[in-house]
Structure 1
Amino acid sequence: MDSNGGRVAHLTHDGLRFEAVLGGDPAGEPVVLLHGFPQDASAWDGVAGLLHQEGLRTLAPHQRGYLPGAAPTQVSAYRLEALVGDVLAWLDDQDLARAHVVGHDWGGAVAWALAAWHPERVSTLTVLSTSHPAALAWAVRHGDQARRSWYIAGFQVPRLPELALARMLRRGGLARTGLPAADGKRYAARLPDAASLRGPVNWYRAAAARGGRRVGAVGVPTAYLWGARDPFLGRAAAERTEAHVSGDYRFVELQAGHWLLETRADEVAAAVLGAVRGRGHRGH
């Protein structure tokens, strides 16, 4: 059991040892919850609790790079194909032919790719904050996204980004972006030093590397939640995301920032429940 009463599951995959928090009714509809940076599976505690009250089953993995046993050092190990492969391995391990998939921040990028490449494994898709990768790439060229993503270029430098991030997390620096202090303190405890941050930073380095499989249009029922005050992900990409979803689509704009799991758990859970119950629709 974890500290919040969830069951901790272990998975050995790709030579790595992963952990996930399982919760809710084992017979309920399965929902996979994918966190971003610098979060961990505990970021979903508020949302998962609400889903459990509605009879759903959740699986929230600590993603690649966030546990010592699942943190390879090479950048290539964090390509999107490998990250999607981790989720597929969890589905197989839990004997799940398909699941409802929810992702925030980098977890959203993994969720978009999973739904595009393996739609047969995804019942519905709910993405928080992170626009479709093709929409994001367009906004970097045509909108203000390049200004919002300036820090990614800095992450390509060896070692220094990990040192700076460790210091910033210890000092609660993300509070300036709206992350509640208690959550920031918990995430910092899991990523206390430069060595522990190498895996999470390698997500950014791998994304900036050339090559890799393109994320195409998504045909599964999709809900996309975006905070109008998100300092990292702007309106241009958010509004363009609809062009990359061919299935039923719902766009929800919240008067919120980036940290929707920590600050808007009720709205996130309601969106997931709406998707699970088939209330998604094309439009706003």
Structure 2
Amino acid sequence: MPKEPWTHRDEAVGGLRLHWVEAGEGPLVLLLHGFPEHWLAWRHQVPALASAGFRVVAPDLRGYNLSEKPKGVSSYRMELLAGDVANLVRHLGYQRTFLVGHDWGGAIAWCVPALHPGLVEKLAILNAPHPILFRQKLATFAQAKRSSYVFFFQLPYFPERSLLRRRAGFLKGMLRRDPVTFGAFSPDEIEAYREAFLVPGAATAAINYYRAAFRTGTRIPGLRRSLDGVPTLVLWGEKDRYLGPELLDGLEALVPDLRVVRLDASHWLPADAATAVNSELISFFRGR
């Protein structure tokens, strides 16, 4: 059996046990996955970025897969999620990081510079709207319809029961149906996501991200001007069924140093357009 191109670590970080994979040496690149994936979302990016001269770390976010699953909706407030990022960077012996986030990982990544100024050297976002723009667009019928699952997740108990039916069968349908690239997710990869979602407490933890956002809000002090001096790359799959391209409208007013690249891909950009994503990230972090 071939050796994995990464190593697994499981350690206490800021009082919370986190699992992550890492590879390579050099400047730190931290990769934050989204719902309902885990570190495996970055299986194409970790070896590519490591070969390009970076130390690449892809954690399971709190509540996901092999990381600790704190109980209660309040355990998933944005301040704590961003704090996990800052704690991990320092735990790894760094003062700054290149930060990449997809979906919920992107939502966290948008907020880290406001909550932890100076921590992010460069920011890359994959199909994740800026929280200010998402709050505005969610009031429109088009985006509210695409994000109807967000409102469903506010219900108690029933969302978990629904998502766990047929061994988290929703994952199989979604990850087969959505991508533009045929076979973007292999059967083994889909099964790995299903198994992780079935871990006791994992489904509730993942849904609690959405509950916490609604109950406590994502109005982060200083968020509107937090990206001054932070070069930012946004990669956007234009075939996203959940997040419309209009969520990019007005982004340049919030991000002074911005480059947007639109790709013919689905929401699941790291898998659906892996080669393009790798090329763009490496070029961006190398300064070209």
Same fold (TM over 0.5): yes
Change (3 A) 1:241 1:167: farther
Q: Share of identical aligned residues, percent?
A: 36
Q: CA deviation at 1:162?
A: 1.1
Correspondence for 1:255 among 256, 264, 271: 264
Correspondence for 2:106 among 84, 105, 108: 108
Residue 206 of structure 1: aligned partner: 212
Letter in 2 for 1:201: I
| Root-mean-square deviation (Å) | 2.0
CA distance in 1, matches of 2:141, 2:260: 19
The normalised TM-score by structure 1 is 0.90
Alignment of 1:1-284 (within 5 A): 4-24=4-24, 26=25, 28-67=26-65, 70-142=68-140, 144-167=142-165, 169-170=168-169, 172-174=172-174, 175-178=176-179, 180-182=185-187, 183-192=189-198, 195-211=201-217, 213-214=219-220, 215-217=223-225, 218-219=227-228, 220-246=230-256, 248-279=257-288
Change (3 A) 1:200 1:69: same
CA distance in 1, matches of 2:19, 2:107: 20
Q: What is the CA deviation profile of residues 9-48 of structure 1, one whole-angstrom value per residue up to 9, with x for unaligned ones? A: 2332454211111111x2x121000000111111111111
CA distance in 2, matches of 1:104, 1:273: 16
Q: What is the CA deviation profile of residues 80-136 of structure 1, one whole-angstrom value per residue up to 9, with x for unaligned ones? A: 100000011111101111010000000000110012332411110000000111111
CA contact (8 A) 2:19 2:66 kept: no
Give the length in aligned residue pairs: 275
CA contact (8 A) 1:47 1:261 kept: yes
Letter in 2 for 1:203: Y
Q: What is the CA deviation profile of residues 209-245 of structure 1, one whole-angstrom value per residue up to 9, with x for unaligned ones? A: 1345423232200000111110111111123322211
Letter in 1 for 2:276: E
CA distance in 1, matches of 2:196, 2:149: 22
CA distance in 2, matches of 1:5, 1:200: 27
CA distance in 1, matches of 2:111, 2:95: 17
When structure 1 is superposed on structure 2, of 234-243 and 147-156 the one drifting more is: 234-243
Q: What is the CA deviation profile of residues 180-226 of structure 1, one whole-angstrom value per residue up to 9, with x for unaligned ones? A: 35332221111126732111111111111134542323220000011
CA distance in 1, matches of 2:46, 2:142: 33
CA contact (8 A) 1:138 1:237 kept: no
When structure 1 is superposed on structure 2, of 38-47 and 110-119 the one drifting more is: 110-119
SS in 2 for 1:96: coil
Change (3 A) 1:268 1:119: farther
Q: CA deviation at 1:69?
A: 5.3
Q: What is the CA deviation profile of residues 220-275 of structure 1, one whole-angstrom value per residue up to 9, with x for unaligned ones? A: 000001111101111111233222112x2100111111001111111111221122
Letter in 1 for 2:30: V
CA distance in 1, matches of 2:37, 2:217: 27
Residue 282 of structure 1: aligned partner: none
Unaligned 5+ residue runs, structure 2?
A: none
Unaligned 5+ residue runs, structure 1?
A: 280-284
CA contact (8 A) 1:33 1:102 kept: yes
Letter in 2 for 1:252: V
When structure 1 is superposed on structure 2, of 126-135 and 68-77 the one drifting more is: 68-77
Letter in 1 for 2:243: L
CA distance in 1, matches of 2:81, 2:216: 17
CA distance in 2, matches of 1:143, 1:252: 26
